[in-house]
Amino acid sequence: MAGVPFVALGPHDERPDAPVILAWHSIESPGSEAEMAAALPMATLPAWRVYLGVPLPYHARPEGLGDGRGGEDDLLRSVGRSVVQAADELPAALRALGEHLPVGGGSLGLLGSSIGATIAQLLITETDLEIAALALVSPVIQLRSLVDAPGTAADGATPAGEPSPSLADRLDFLARIRPLCERRPPPPVLVVVGAEDQRRFVDPAMRLWAALSMRGAADRSALVAVPGMGHAVGGDLGPDAAVAGQSAQALHVDRVLTAWFRRQLDA
């Protein structure tokens, strides 16, 4: 689809006004559009769920993590560029989507996991897409949080390889929360975090939710903490997993997302 790999799951009735949910995966589990579709299928939702591939460099993919080919600064810069590229690819992908699938008349929702959530935030901050609902799962709210302590030179200069201040600032959505709050109409926002996730991810997510609430969006935002879940949605398979590859944590998240989008998209 315009060079973007995807997995599309359709509603049972495939009505022309069915909502469409665009979803982007994480670096790790779920680390591809196919894994995302298996982990979070939202199978009972009468909406199109379209899972888009993220153009990750090798050392940022699950098979390349930890192989020594890229340091932390290079990872930040590469992932940041991938986020921007994925957002830039969306207009052409949407046009191709309309040519391949019977969509176009329904409302639009965005879903992202980890850096996939960064893509969704960039789109809702910098484009005029009409977004009816936004769901962020284990979101990376600030690009710099991908590493424990991004290096800073003693004189405050940007170390070699670190993402430029403009890119890092562009992908800092606590600092850029105003455009989200000033959207008319402002989209409902669901933030899902793992109760066992690291504070460098959870704290910014909770601050984002708190900022939305303080700016008058309390009735349009929700925060859910999933017991036993770290940053990755994947994990050991639960005994009642709905599909192969769906962990107990993913099943929990899947139910939360299904209920959220059903309510917000009138699906």
Q: What's the DSSP call for residue 237?
A: B
Residue 181 to residue 175: CA distance in whole angstroms: 12
Going by their DSSP bridges, the two strands 48-52 and 6-9 should be labelled as antiparallel
Q: Which strand ranges, in their side-by-side order, compose the sheet holding 189-194? A: 6-9, 48-52, 20-24, 108-113, 133-137, 189-194, 221-226
- What element of type H or E holds 89? helix 72-100
Domains and CATH numbers, the chain: 6-264 (3.40.50.1820)
Per-residue pLDDT of the chain (267 residues; tens, 9 = 90+): 667 899 999 997 777 789 999 999 998 889 999 999 999 999 999 999 999 999 886 445 544 444 445 555 677 888 999 999 999 999 988 888 888 888 877 899 999 999 999 999 999 999 989 999 999 999 999 999 987 543 333 333 344 444 556 888 999 999 998 877 777 777 899 999 999 999 999 999 999 998 887 765 556 789 999 999 999 997 544 444 445 557 889 999 999 999 999 999 875
